Amino acid sequence: MNRTHSANSATSTIDRRRWLRQTVGFAAMLAGSRLITPKAVAGETGALAGKRAQIAITLDLEMSAQYPTKDQVHWNYEKGNLNEETKRYAVEAARRVKQAGGTLHFFVVGRVFEQENTDWLREIVQTGHPVGNHTYDHVNVKAKTPEDLQFRFRRAPWLVEGRTPHDIVVENIRLTTEAMKNRIGVSPTGFRTPGGFNNGLHDVPEIQQLLLDQGYRWVSSLYPAHQADISNAANWNDVLQDIVAKQQNSQPFVYPSGLIEIPMSPVSDVTAFRAHQWKLEQFLEAIRAAVSWTIDNGAMFDFLAHPSCLYVTDPEFRAIDLICDLVQNSAGQAEFADLERIAERTTESLPK
Ligand SMILES: [Zn+2]
């Protein structure tokens, strides 16, 4: 299938400029409110300092409940049992981003490596796309009880009997690393928590330490709370403005432990489509707004989506093509970056 985005290139630049004018307007308006912290405002100096925006495209390789049809909840118990459509979408998405000059950063749940064939993922890695660790069973790393870790352990508690949630999380991360090495011959590039946390890992220094101990220097765990309810049509502009404000406020930082946080940027596919029944056009408009702000301010955008959701909600890869267009038409103001590269720049920008 040919890429469809090139036909839209001229208009996307114009649309981006229109968005820039609007976002500058409401950023100024919001600057007086509590929504924007000094750190976020400082982010606006990025462009002045000549920094190029870093745009990451990331896909989490797991099945998503309610796809392809609303009644599908069994995926909650077998997140790693990827179907053919999901694998095909991942491969084609990687091909498109590569063709546009970037790399796509995947995060995989370890159970994927129990599947008969993982050649498709090996090929993705061999064409230069990094793959990170997303735990073996898609566990909640902040769980206080075994039942809160994952649906699988509610149905099959004997799998984790007698062990603490912390020990199970440690093993879930370690097993994924082993499975990756075994089946596709590489170690994970970074770690993303299943589920995003509004406060990242601020409240769990022991999890920060656990990741550092396993050799990870960065994590992607923070997904900011933002408005997404569009049941009232009059809300739409408020939702868009809130998404850009939260995106602005969710830039990479370093925890006191030394672990780097690379937040996920709103809006994610499951938040838009599953939680709030957005239309694809609305999803695209929100992405355009957030990426345009990012490019204009030399900041970071970390697109988060799931092929298992997108093959149903965005079968023509319009979101990924849109992001590629915005980078390619940025006149050098933006670059594709995987999260490893973003972590490097976060380290470089630390006071010496
Ligand atoms: Zn996930």
Question: Could you report the per-residue pLDDT of 272-287, keeping only the tens digit for each?
Answer: 999 999 999 999 999 9
Determine the distance separating the centroid of ligand 1 and the alpha carbon of 136, expressed in angstroms: 11
What distance in angstroms lies between residue 58's CA and the mean position of ligand 1's atoms?
11
Q: Positive or negative, the Cα torsion across 25, 31, 36, 41?
A: positive
What are the phi and psi torsion angles at 304 (to 5°)?
A: -120, 120
C-alpha span between 304 and 157 (Å, rounded): 31
Structure tokens of 247?
């995106």
pLDDT the model gives residue 51:
87
Taking the alpha carbons at both ends of the chain, their separation in whole angstroms is 48
190 Cβ contact partners less than 8 Å away, ≥ 6 residues apart: 105, 107, 130, 132, 133, 216, 218, 219, 220, 339, 340, 343
User: How many whole angstroms from 244 Cα to the centroid of ligand 1?
Assistant: 23
Check pLDDT > 90 for residue 105: yes
Distance 135 CA to ligand 1 centre (A): 9
- Give the pLDDT confidence score for residue 49 in this predicted structure: 55
What separation in Å is there between the alpha carbon of 193 and the centre of ligand 1?
Answer: 7
Taking all residues of the chain, what is their mean pLDDT, rounded to a whole number? 89
Q: How far is CA 129 from the centre of its chain?
A: 15
- The pocket of ion ligand 1, defined by CB under 5 A, consists of 60, 62, 194
Distance (Å) from CA 195 to ligand 1 centroid = 6
CA of 60 to the centre of ligand 1 (A): 6
Cα 62 to middle of ligand 1, angstroms: 6
234 CA to middle of ligand 1, Å? 31
Q: Give me ligand 1 centre to Cα 305, in Å.
A: 9
Average confidence (pLDDT) over 154-164: 93
Rounded CA-CA distance 266/286 in Å is: 8
Distance from residue 194's CA to the centre of ligand 1 (Å) = 4
Residue 85: pLDDT band with limits 50, 70, 90: very high
pTM of the model as a whole:
0.86
For residue 107, the model assigns a pLDDT of 98
Q: How far, in Å, is the centroid of ligand 1 from the Cα of 134?
A: 7
d(CA 350, ligand 1 centre) in Å = 30
Structural domains of the chain ordered from first start: 5-348 (3.20.20.370)
Q: How far is the CA of 161 from the centre of ligand 1 (A)?
A: 24
Above 80 in pLDDT, residue 235? yes
Q: CA 174, CA 275: separation in Å to the nearest integer?
A: 31
CA–centroid distance, 322 to ligand 1, in Å, is 23
Specify the higher pLDDT residue, 24 or 174.
Answer: 174
Query: How far is ligand 1, taken at its centre, from the CA of residue 26, in Å?
Result: 32
Query: 350 falls in which pLDDT band (50, 70, 90)?
Result: confident
Distance from the CA of 66 to the center of ligand 1, in angstroms? 14
